């Protein structure tokens, strides 16, 4: 790939996210609304216990953990594990995101303001392709799962055999980091396959995956660095937000805490879109470079004349 295109993708990707920030806000709102419904029952159950009780001040003036525990351990506890409900709403959100990915990527790949109809057409156009891709992703998780099991077994053995806890702890840290990076590579690969599916209107997902793997293989450094940089920024920002929330904000600053936590979430979503946009941009530039060097062109470059034309 021509090196001239590399430096632009990182910044231009952010520009794409900024330009089409409506996507960001919609994702954020859907996430917020679904999460709100997921916890609604829990909040409604806890409200009668807290609303008119002076004991609730233990949670306002600071955060007395035992006040929350008291609500949880009583035989008539108003707190039920919200796990299943939260999970169900999270699954809905994940499906929503798979659905929207086609429209989002089409926007980033073609960089043309989509009409609502065109956007959702793109979503629907690619939805089942991405569901099929999800099946491949599940298969790809198997070796990662095996690796996690192996690392866990090694950790347990080291922990069992070593008199010092550090070797096992260091190994655990290192292996977790490795697995995280592998997951990021996997994400990068499948994201690229999705970009190819949208940009080239590729219907066969195994072919998209093969091409994405080939691209990744030959441009691993630049693409991985692109993703890693954005992930690091997101991690730093969210870590800083958590630190502010836990250590700096007054326990009584409830509105500020809400704003801060939502800001962290917005930044996280933005960073994820940034990765997708940068990758889409990278691919666009890659294609453009191939057009200028026809001997390396694997297939004719589609002409992105219009957003809806690209969908057809």
Partner 1 sequence: MLPSWFTGLLAATLLLLAGGTVFESRLAAPLAQAPEAPRSTPNSPLSIRVVAYTIEAKLNTSSHSIDATETLVYKNLTGQPQQSFPFHLYLNAFQPQSTMTTEIRMSGARGVEADAGWNDKNRGSITVSKIEVQGAGDLTDKMQFMQPDDHNTNDLTVFQVTLPKPVAPGASVEFHMTFHDQLPEVLYRTGYKRDFYMIGQWFPKVGVWWKNAWNCHQFHADSEFFADFGTFDVNLTVPQNEILGAGGDLISSVNNPDGTKSAKFHSEDVHDFSWTASPDYTVVEDTWTGSAGPVKLHVLMSPGHMASAPRYVQALKGTLAWYDKNIGPYPYDRVTVVDPPHGAFNAGGMEYPTLITAGTTWYMPKGFLAPEDVVNHEFGHQYWYGMVATNEFEDAWLDEGINSYVEAISMAALYGENTSMINFPFATASEAQFLRIEYISLPDTDPITRFSWKFISDNAYGSVTYGKTGTVLLTLEKVVGQQTMLAALHEYFLRYRFKHPTGEDFLKTIEDVSHQDLKWYFDQAVYGTNILDYDIWDAHSDRLTWWEKEISRKKTADEMYRTYVTVHRKGDFIFPLNVLVQFEDGSTTTEHWDGRDRWVRYTYDRKSRVASAQIDPGDKVMLDRNFFNNSYVVDGDSRAIHKLENMWLFASEWISQFLAWIS
Encoded one letter per residue, x for contact with partner 1 by CB under 8 A and - for no contact, window 96-125 reads -xx---------------------------
Mapped to the 3 state alphabet, what secondary structure does 168-190 carry? HHHHHHHHHHHHHHHHHHHHHHH
* Helix 220-243 / helix 6-19 crossing angle, nearest 10 deg: 50
Interacting residues with partner 1 between 205 and 234 (CB under 8 A): none
254 binds partner 1 (CB under 8 A): yes
Give yes or no for a contact between 297 and 100, defined as CB atoms under 8 angstroms apart. no
| C-alpha–C-alpha distance, residues 17 and 42, integer Å | 35
CB of 183 to partner 1, least distance (A): 8
Please select the residue that binds partner 1; options are 16, 17, 38, 122, rule is CB under 8 A.
Answer: 38
| C-alpha–C-alpha distance, residues 60 and 50, integer Å | 11
Please select the residue that binds partner 1; options are 99, 120, 224, 268, rule is CB under 8 A.
Answer: 268
Give the residue with the Cβ less far from partner 1, 261 or 301. Answer: 261
Interacting residues with partner 1 between 44 and 83 (CB under 8 A): 46-47, 49-57, 59-60, 62-71, 73-74, 82
For CA atoms 163, 164, 169, 175, give the dihedral sign.
negative
Q: Note the Cα 259 to chain centre separation in Å.
A: 20
| C-alpha–C-alpha distance, residues 269 and 30, integer Å | 12
Please select the residue that binds partner 1; options are 42, 179, 181, 289, rule is CB under 8 A.
Answer: 42
CB of 246 to partner 1, least distance (A): 4
Please select the residue that binds partner 1; options are 23, 192, 197, 269, rule is CB under 8 A.
Answer: 269
Q: Which listed range, 118-126, 208-216, 257-265, 281-289, lies at the site for partner 1 (CB under 8 A)?
A: 257-265
Please select the residue that binds partner 1; options are 87, 128, 220, 296, rule is CB under 8 A.
Answer: 87
Exposure b/e, 68-101, CB count within 10 A at least 16 = b = eeebeeeeeebbeebeebbeebeeebeebbbbbb
Give the residue with the Cβ less far from partner 1, 139 or 247. Answer: 247
29 binds partner 1 (CB under 8 A): no
247 binds partner 1 (CB under 8 A): yes
- Specify the 3-state DSSP secondary structure of 44: helix
Exposure b/e, 27-38, CB count within 10 A at least 16 = b = bbeebeebeeeb
Interacting residues with partner 1 between 174 and 193 (CB under 8 A): 183, 187
Please select the residue that binds partner 1; options are 143, 145, 165, 300, rule is CB under 8 A.
Answer: 165
| C-alpha–C-alpha distance, residues 2 and 281, integer Å | 14
């Amino acid at each position: 790939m021509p090196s001239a295109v590399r430096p632009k993708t990182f910044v231009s990707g952010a520009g794409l996210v900024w330009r089409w920030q409506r996507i960001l806000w919609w994702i954020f709102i859907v996430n917020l609304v679904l999460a709100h419904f997921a916890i609604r029952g829990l909040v409604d159950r806890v409200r009668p216990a807290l609303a008119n009780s002076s004991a609730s001040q233990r949670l306002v003036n600071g955060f007395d953990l035992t006040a929350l525990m008291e609500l949880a351990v009583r035989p008539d506890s108003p707190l039920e594990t919200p796990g299943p409900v939260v999970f169900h709403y999270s699954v809905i959100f994940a499906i929503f995101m798979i659905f929207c990915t086609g429209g989002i990527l089409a926007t980033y790949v073609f960089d043309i303001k989509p009409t609502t109809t065109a956007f959702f057409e793109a979503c629907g156009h690619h939805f089942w392709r991405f569901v099929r891709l999800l099946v491949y992703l599940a298969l790809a998780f198997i070796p990662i799962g095996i690796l996690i099991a192996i690392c866990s077994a090694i950790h347990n053995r080291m922990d069992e055999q070593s008199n010092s806890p550090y070797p096992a702890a260091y190994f655990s840290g290192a292996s977790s980091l490795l697995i995280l990076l592998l997951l990021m590579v996997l994400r990068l690969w499948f994201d690229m396959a999705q970009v190819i599916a949208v940009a080239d209107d590729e219907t066969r997902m195994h072919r998209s995956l093969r091409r994405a793997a080939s691209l990744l293989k030959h441009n691993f450094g630049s693409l991985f660095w692109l993703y890693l940089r954005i992930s690091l920024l997101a991690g730093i920002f969210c870590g800083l937000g958590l630190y502010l929330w836990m250590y700096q904000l007054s326990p009584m600053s409830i509105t500020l805490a809400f704003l801060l936590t939502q800001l962290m979430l917005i930044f996280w979503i933005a960073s994820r879109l940034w990765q997708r946009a940068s990758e889409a941009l990278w691919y666009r530039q890659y294609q453009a470079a191939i057009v200028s060097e026809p001997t390396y062109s694997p297939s004719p470059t589609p002409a992105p004349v219009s957003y809806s034309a690209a969908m057809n």
